[in-house]
Amino acid sequence: MTYLEAVATYLPPESVPIDKALAGLDISESQIRLFQRFYGFSRIRREPTARLADQMLSTAAGLTALRGREKDVRYVVQALTLPVSAPYPSNPVHDVRRALGLDHAVTFCLTQHACATGLLAVDVCGKLLAADGDPNALALIFTGEKAYTAYSQQFIIDTAVMGEGMAAILVRQGGDRDEVISYVTRTHGQFNQAPWLTHEQAREFDQLYPEALAEVMLAAVEQADLTLDDITFVLPHHVNHNSWKRLSKRIGFPMSRIFLENLPEVGHCFCADPFINYRTVSETGRLRRGDYYMMVSVGLGATFSAMVFRH
């Protein structure tokens, strides 16, 4: 079985009010007020002077479980929301591999599931490690990106304001940490030109969203042979607070157990949100040994994913 051996996160030191972060972009003051008053966003974290590789290394520095085990790392994977993570000719994941002394590791990027690619990376790395058959082997996954350009990288209209929080995840086969119990993903490819949808397509996607998200969440619970009552927390991606209210009502899951405390202060950090939320609930003692929880993420395009874990 696939386990999360360790998760580390990094939040850039600069906390920026979203009205300041969005100033000068092609977005009206009324839309900014919507983000603040109804969608739940207040501030985001940014680090304009840092390269993506610098932020990835700052995140990896928090992985104490990696120290002394570098030789066990078989794969280094960057899970991307967007196909391009840095200006040419920079290649952040290979810069990080070299800096961490992991030249022996197979290194690559995953994308195409947009903000749900982080969960895809956990599944793919688990399968690769299982095929290798080495019980000590590790995979190192990086999630989180730089908000370089305006539309879809600094904000998504009616959806989210993008922050630069990061997460690094160690995955292995076996162990006694957080076990992956189930994983369900569905892609609705008719929306593959998102975020540049026509008005009619955007309306269709808005109608589909709660049903499609509910479908993968309920399927993941069923695949795990559990019920929603068994799930201590849903650890979500950070999008429009109202969309989670719709989801809560649709499946009868309490809003108090959809963990949204980080959304106002860090924004939507690409693929990193569920892992940032995991660190918060585990470090504050709100997850107990044996608890079940679910990471959930939706990527533009449109991919809906849910993964159930046992802590």
Q: Domains for the chain: give ranges and CATH numbers.
A: 2-173 (3.40.47.10), 178-310 (3.40.47.10)
Per-residue model confidence (pLDDT) at position 203: 86
Helix (H, G, I), strand (E, B) or coil at 163: coil
Mean pLDDT of 239-244: 93
C-alpha–C-alpha distance, residues 2 and 5, integer Å: 9
Residue 95: strand pairing partners? none
What are the pLDDT digits (tens) for 22-81?
888 888 889 899 899 889 999 999 998 999 999 999 999 999 999 999 999 999 999 999
The single residue listed with the structure tokens 């899951």 is 253
Residue 305: strand pairing partners? 185, 297
Per-residue model confidence (pLDDT) at position 196: 72
Range of weakest confidence among 59-68, 129-138, 197-206: 197-206
- pTM score of the predicted model: 0.96
Nearest alpha-carbon partner for 205 in 218, 215, 192: 192
Mean pLDDT of 72-92: 91
The single residue listed with the structure tokens 């000068």 is 24
